[in-house]
Amino acid sequence: MKKLIEGLHRFHAGYFESHKELFEKLSQGQHPRILFITCSDSRIDPNLITQANVGDLFVIRNAGNIVPPYGATNGGEGASIEYAITALGIEHIIVCGHSHCGAMKGLLKMSKLEDQMPLVYEWLKQAEATRRLLKDNYGDLSDEEVLPIAIAENVLTQLENLATYPVIRSKLYQGKLALHAWVYNIESGDVLAYDPLSHDFVDLETRNAPPEFIYDLKPTNYYRKVSGNLADKTDNSHGSQNTPKSSPMSKQLQETNKINTVAENYPRSNRLSAEQAERIYKGSY
């Protein structure tokens, strides 16, 4: 506590004094444009990693950065989401997972949680879609191997859960809202973003989709070959019947050769069989 109290004094005498105009403006109301949903983990600081100013982010935090589907629970997540969209006019939602997530470790060992941490056990039931996807599609991997996949897949599951909220569904339909999936790596400080076109988590600056790409819940998959070369065909397994085998985007991916920007520890189709890649969203459709 002594350290915190000293910090409060430094804040008031330093940062607050030099930003009085900002805090005076904030006292009149908040106008964030980004809803940032992340884990309660003490190692994650949304404002620090984004270098956002006070008032820039509207933040929801809980164990595992979980968004319960609409109507599943009366917790604060749904109320905060509804307020952010309706009252604050939020235009972007970021769901940010992180490496070494304790909640995802718990999700992989649910049977051990029920007696030791019953409340955590009940909460993680909200991530059953992620757990089932991992069990059905990555059952041959060890816990250590599957953890990074669990972290990334869980973030994508939360985007799908967000779309079950009527207010979000409506804004997505109008093109007035963008959903983003991020994974923060504690060791390196890097943030990877989901690219719906390459179906990978890639560096923010190098993803193929525009920064404000609206997640449509049925991303086109551009498979990468086991050899490490970019694939020259697309996957039509999610209902896209009009996509040619050699699309302009596919050619662009080959020309730019962005394979090296993909993180080694996150899901990528050259680490999965074609069958696994096709099933990656099986639990969502």
What pLDDT is attached to residue 269?
31
Using 50, 70 and 90 to split pLDDT, how confident is the model at 208? low
Closest CA to 265 of 192, 156, 179, 160: 192
Burial of 162 (0-12, 13-18, 19+ CB in 10 A): buried
Taken in order of first residue, the domains within the chain and their CATH numbers are 29-222 (3.40.1050.10)
CA distance 160 to 144: 25
CA distance 34 to 23: 19
65: left (phi over 0), alpha (psi -120 to 50) or beta: left
Q: Is residue 267's pLDDT more than 90? A: no
What pLDDT is attached to residue 71?
86
Burial of 202 (0-12, 13-18, 19+ CB in 10 A): buried
pTM: 0.74
What pLDDT is attached to residue 243?
37
Q: Is residue 240's pLDDT more than 80? A: no
The mean per-residue pLDDT over the stretch 214-224 comes to 35
Q: Is residue 238's pLDDT more than 70? A: no
Residue 245 tokens read as: 């085998």
The mean per-residue pLDDT over the stretch 48-60 comes to 95
